Structure 1
Amino acid sequence: MSKFIRFIKNWTLPLSMGIGAVAYLVFYYVEALEGLSQRLAPVFDSILPLFMFLILYVTFCKVDFKKLAPVQWHFWTAVFQLLFVSGIVVAILFLHIIGKELILLESILACIISPCAAAAAVVTLKLGGNLEQMTTYTFLSNLLCALLIPVCFPLIEPASQMTFWSAFSIIMQKVCLVLVVPMLLALLTKSLPLLHRFHQWLIHIPDLSFYLWGCSLMIVTGTTLKNIFHAQTSISFLLLIAFSGLVLCLLQYAVGRLIGRFFASSIEAGQALGQKNTAFAIWIAATYLHPLSTVGPGCYILWQNIINSIEIWKRGKYKA
């Protein structure tokens, strides 16, 4: 029994993805469930933000807010992201890339330009990294994203009619809802004497935020498969986008860990650069880029969680 529980703990993320994938495939192929799937779709769409809110709230309850401050590796990971984004945009403009090649590069760009995932702090904590450094970088990464998107996207998709301030304000509103509100509630929970016992009870539940994230991953995996199954293009092109996402994911994790080694923060920098807010990436791709470019971030979420699972397994093996 203990081996089974340890297996569940080590492989929570792939098990969540597997359950989400199987559930979607059942609803997709069984015609009798079509009506039920249409009724459940909006329910899951509304549940997912709630999961993300609870995940961040529980995580922020463990944060020492006095230690939130930028450190050196924050600067260098941001520089790499800026250079990578600039390289993609310059290539599209100067090489006059169009057609499927443009869609492929847009899907890659959506994964690069999107901010660090809010759940990256959860994995960093699980891996023994610094929670405060990751929390700080999450905010800085979202600010950088809000500055880059209104500058870059109108250059490659002039038809989007995006203005800098409108896009900036929309993104910052989303950042406030997703990050700032749960952080303020966590700060309130930590500060009020009346909530002291609740706060202590909450932070002493082992890996609560991690397992909440595993539940949300089931929904995200099903949504990802839905986008892939309904993509109006050839299988070979979908496989090309998926493979590009894998290469990009490995590259960003590797570069992040390389940067982090110079500052004794390889875990934090690797997660910061590699683990992306793919839900946000899918939203910006669907809103401002070609609809097919959403497949890239959809595949990226599968790759990054496979990597996270391997990291967590290695961490557990090392501790044992």
Structure 2
Amino acid sequence: MHLLEHLHRNVKTVAMPMVMVVGALLCRPISALEAWTGQMITPTLIFLMLFVTFCRVKPSQMHLSMLHLWLLVFQAAVCVGVYFALLPFDPVVAQGAMVCVLAPVAMAAVVIGGMLGANVATMATYSLVCNMAIALVAPVILTFAGTGACTFTQILSRIAPLLIMPFAAAQFCRFVFPRGALWIGDHSQISFYMWLASLVVIIGRTTAFILDLRDASVATELWLAGAALVICLIQFKVGRMLGRRYGDPAAGGQSLGQKNTVLAVWMAQSFLDPISSIAPTAYIVWQNFVNSYQIWKKDREKRGSAE
């Protein structure tokens, strides 16, 4: 068992950069496979890893807190502020930066947060609250800033299946098969490897999208990617600062910094200038570099305390 834990610890520190390289190099086969399956590989993996993680969460452990409120306030205020601040410079860059802030917390943030020592119940609560709140707010913002009308139903249809169904399935399992749910919860590291598999697919699709993009100038692409990097770092930093005030910096950082980029890309391509989707596409890369660094740092701290 000690050997397995040692291997798992070493794999975690290098896995994300490696799978990102693999996804980029195999972008064409991956995109073809994803198309052949009807775009179902990523949703299936996200469902499974959330199911595994939610098997550790009891509904009685889930409570709203002031941390959740401040995270939501930050998202709402900053996404509008960033848009109007960048609008005179470049409307496309303004849209791309805005959607990087507006996007709700990633479904997989609960998984990574748990690895970093975050309170899983706190993150599960925020995941539900944040995604529902964005489903209400996003149609107004996207209709105002974009090129077409966006509805609550459109956003909710993209969020609900991968948010509510894994939670409901996990709670059903806990009620009907408690021993099975306990075993799954005790082996929650499985969800990390599911996340790696989904990351290969996401990076592969991202790379193919960038290679096929023809309408954007190089300068615009660089500004969008740069804006995404700055916003990514700020959101992780501010999230950890807010989380630290309430005793859970990892939960705050992942809740604010790790975004549902698949939804963000879809929102940008559907309701904004399609070129603005380069920003959330680049955000996929930036946030996973941050996640890799955090996991490496967390493992180094564990090794130091064990010595």
Answer yes or no: same fold by TM over 0.5: yes
Q: 1:121 aligns with which of 86, 110, 123?
A: 110
The percentage of counterpart residues that share the same residue type is: 33
Whichever residue aligns with residue 154 of structure 1, its letter is T
The alpha carbon displacement at 1:255 in A equals: 0.9
Q: 1:111 aligns with which of 78, 100, 108?
A: 100
The alpha carbon displacement at 1:262 in A equals: 1.5
Match of 2:140 in 1: 151
The whole-number CA distance in structure 1 between the counterparts of 2:47 and 2:8 is 27
Q: Does 1:237 align with 2:220?
A: yes
The whole-number CA distance in structure 1 between the counterparts of 2:63 and 2:258 is 20
The whole-number CA distance in structure 2 between the counterparts of 1:206 and 1:175 is 23
Q: 1:170 aligns with which of 123, 147, 154?
A: 154
Unaligned runs of 5+ in 1: 28-32
CA RMSD of superposed structures (Å): 2.1
- Which residues of 2 match residues 77-226 of structure 1 at below 5 A? 77-91=71-85, 97=88, 101-157=90-146, 159-162=147-150, 167-192=151-176, 195-226=177-208
Q: Is the 8 A contact 1:249 1:304 kept in 2?
A: yes
Q: Is the 8 A contact 1:116 1:277 kept in 2?
A: yes
Match of 2:251 in 1: 268
Instruction: Describe the superposition over 1:190-240 as per-residue Cα deviations: whole angstroms up to 9, x where unpaired.
Output: 001xx2332233223251111101110000000111111112223332222
Higher gyration radius (CA): 1
Q: Is the 8 A contact 1:121 1:135 kept in 2?
A: yes
Q: Is the 8 A contact 2:58 2:171 kept in 1?
A: no
Whichever residue aligns with residue 11 of structure 2, its letter is I
Q: 2:41 aligns with which of 14, 29, 47?
A: 47
Q: Is the 8 A contact 2:49 2:108 kept in 1?
A: yes
Unaligned runs of 5+ in 2: none
- Which residues of 2 match residues 263-302 of structure 1 at below 5 A? 263-302=246-285
The alpha carbon displacement at 1:14 in A equals: 1.5
Return closer, same or farther for 1:5/1:58 CA change in 2, 3 Å cut-off: closer
Q: Is the 8 A contact 1:12 1:211 kept in 2?
A: no
The alpha carbon displacement at 1:297 in A equals: 0.7
The alpha carbon displacement at 1:294 in A equals: 1.1
Q: TM-score, normalised by structure 2?
A: 0.91
